[in-house]
Structure 1
Amino acid sequence: MTYIMCVRNITKGRFGNEPGATHFLDVPSGQTPAPAHKTSKRDWIKSVQKDAITGSESGVPVGDILFYVHGYNNTPEQVVTRHRKLQNGLAKHGYKGTIISFDWPSADTALNYLEDRHDAKQTMLRLVNEGIKTFASLQRPDCRINQHILAHSMGCYVVREAFDDADDIASIAQKNWTVSQIMFVAGDVSSRAMRDGASKSSSLYRHCVRMTNYYNPYDNVLTLANVKRIGVSPRVGRIGLPDRVPSKAVDIFCGAYYKEKIDPELTALRKAHTWYFDDDVFLRDVHHTIDGAIDREKIPGRRPTSKGNLALTALD
């Protein structure tokens, strides 16, 4: 079963591109999300919790939930395709938990960038309020399920803004809804705004145990020259985190690996932004990050760089 929190409208019997109510979907294998897959929030949560359990420690059930937050210009069909690539790719390396896609309303055209940001802003708080906070409130001493987030492209903006907005609402801010691992992939947010002490990112850092940023300097979708993105500052998914970040944050430089293993001639421009979902080395690294059993500097396939961060590499 594929679990999706969809906050799109419904038009002509299909999910649209505008903000709508929150729909909790159980999408059968091989099918694309449709309104017919809606179920009650109560039943959906019970199913997610059951599938999230991966084993036990000292007789106590433990497990993992990974929230996947997609980028702009994604249809529901594209969202579920990447969801399943993550699910299958992580399972190959030992991930036994479940995945929830947070499907916010984005259109199916690259020129819709600014409208997608506007629609994301209207729905992003539900990621915390109806997703993360809900599962956090169900934590019990006799069942411990860790929550994680993997956000791609504009999905990183969705996560950062959702955390920031949630801390401005007393009824949410006063609750414990800390997540374990937050992973930004090709992040479409300002690098400068991710510095330690920046008001926009302080909630993000405060509510996670570890923040990992995967970036690729060859990502042409995130260039300032891109006409859709004119006037915005350099993005964290292209240049990495700023110099001053909390100790819980770590940069993973993917440029050398991408140029050597994915696109040596640097001709596949769009691929530089989306290759992560199809790459076994990246997915292995994500699994180790979620698992947390190995120190971040000792994860296989990572090596130190001259800039003091870490680089993704293929195993020998």
Structure 2
Amino acid sequence: MATTNTFVVCTRAIDHSGQYIPEPGDTTFLRVSPAKQNYTPADKISRERWKKAVIAAADGDEDDVTGSTGDVLFFVHGYNNDIPTVLWRTRTLQSTLAAQGWRGLVVGFDWPSDNSTLNYLEDRNDASQVAQRLIDDVLQLLIDAQFPDGVEDPRCTINVHLLGHSTGAYVIMEAFANASKKGGFFKKPWRIAQVAFIGGDVSSASLAETSDWASPMYARIFRLTNYANGYDKVLGVSNMKRLGTSPRAGRVGIPANVPRKAVNVDCSDYFSTKDPATSVFTGTFNHAWHIGDPTFALDLALTLEGEIDRLVVPTRDNANGRLKLVGGRSRPEHQADWDDPRPIAP
């Protein structure tokens, strides 16, 4: 069970009885108590109160090297996620990342997806609609904090990251594409630090350097990390509900012609050793094993921190430039002491 409040941005509609339904609606900002295994509109607070609470929860000690004072990771779930699942995954990401030494805050971005695999195409249409909300109600918070009254505030040094699972990767890419068309966003030099995809339900080709769809995302981020698993059956082209769509990034990885800021981490060999009976997860194991896995959590934590180059992250093997996730690794033993200055001895 969570021990602190969980913060969520919810874009589900509210019906006449005051309950969330799996259709797009007005955005509500939620603060969910640790005792709850579900959330309702009763958990909403004002946007301003929510923003202040999130920034306060993410605001850590200032890093003397980078100047950063905190991290917020927005988790964008995929299709076929009901509210208890979204809450569990948000909390599990928070607890597993914290266990690996990451000190930031995980926030859920909940868009309307039905708890039925038959609703895949409808969910994808809803995802396209709510991508604009990821701009207006998440990225806008970043803009407001970094540019109060239209002027950049150098004191705002919170790093914002995005993690997209399954169709959540589609939502993120669509949001960046939409943001490039909005003058208020386009004219300001805002940046997202790290973007990561797990089980990404976007075509591999769409992440190419020449992709018009991916270009707005690449222009605003420091790094894209795509975690691919060749055993991901949900993303298989033989899956009838997918209607034979092109190979997905979450299954085959990224193409060869990508910007240098994009990196692929092949999880196939690591995944093939995992036993669902002894693993922590919810949903379909081959598609959702990441959330609850300690090795993935450590790799993601090190990625979000950005202190170690992508080619030498200790949870990865580099086989001729092909990065592979490996288990049984830990942080460098003396990493916590690397930044400590040593004065000249008297």
Relative to the length of structure 1, the TM-score reads: 0.95
After TM superposition, list the pairs within 5 Å mapping 1:224-239 onto structure 2: 224-239=237-252
Q: Deviations over 1:199-220 (max 9, x none)?
A: 0111111110000000000000
Q: Is the 8 A contact 2:238 2:244 kept in 1?
A: no
Contact 1:251 1:310 in 2 (8 A): yes
- For 1:141-152, list aligned pairs within 5 A: 141-152=154-165
Q: How many Å separate the matches in 2 of 1:206 and 1:58? A: 27
Match of 1:293 in 2: 307
Report what 1:7 is aligned to: 11
Q: What amino acid is aligned across from residue 51 of structure 1 in structure 2?
A: A
The partner residue of 1:310 within 311, 323, 344 is 323
Indicate conservation of the 8 Å contact 1:133/1:177, yes or no.
no
Give the unaligned 5+ runs of structure 1: none
- Among 91, 94, 100, the alignment partner of 1:84 is 91
Question: Normalising by the residue count of structure 2, what TM-score does the alignment of the two structures yield?
Answer: 0.87
Contact 1:9 1:21 in 2 (8 A): yes
Choose the corresponding residue for 1:274, options 278, 288, 292.
288
Q: Which has the larger radius of gyration?
A: 2
1:114 matched residue in structure 2: 121
Q: Distance in 2 between matches of 1:239 and 1:72?
A: 20
The residue type paired with residue 214 of structure 1 is Y
| Residue in structure 1 matching 2:262, options 249, 252, 266 | 249
Letter in 2 for 1:227: M
When structure 1 is superposed on structure 2, of 51-60 and 190-199 the one drifting more is: 51-60
Q: Deviations over 1:60-97 (max 9, x none)?
A: 66000000000000011110000000000000011111
Residues 129 and 172 of structure 1 are in contact (CA less than 8 Å); yes or no, is this contact kept in structure 2?
no
Q: Is the strand fraction higher in 1 or 2?
A: 1
Residue 40 of structure 2 aligns with which residue? Answer: 34
CA contact (8 A) 1:180 1:208 kept: yes
**What corresponds to 1:181 in structure 2?**
194
Aligned with 2:26 (options 18, 21, 31): 21
Q: Which moved more, 1:86-95 or 1:119-128?
A: 119-128
C-alpha RMSD over aligned residues:
1.8
Q: How many pairs does the alignment contain?
A: 312
Measured against aligned partners, the alpha-carbon deviations of 1:230-288 in whole angstroms (never above 9, x if no partner) come to 13110000000001000000000000000123469xxxx93110100121000000000
- Where does residue 47 of structure 1 map in the other structure? 53
Answer with 129-138 or 29-38: which moved more. Answer: 129-138
Q: Does 1:74 align with 2:81?
A: yes
Deviations 1:129-149 (A, max 9, x none): 221232233133224100001
Determine helix, strand or coil for the equivalent of 1:50. helix
The one-letter amino acid paired with 1:289 is T
Q: Which amino acid aligns with 2:297?
A: L
1:82-231 counterparts in 2 under 5 A?
82-139=89-146, 140-231=153-244
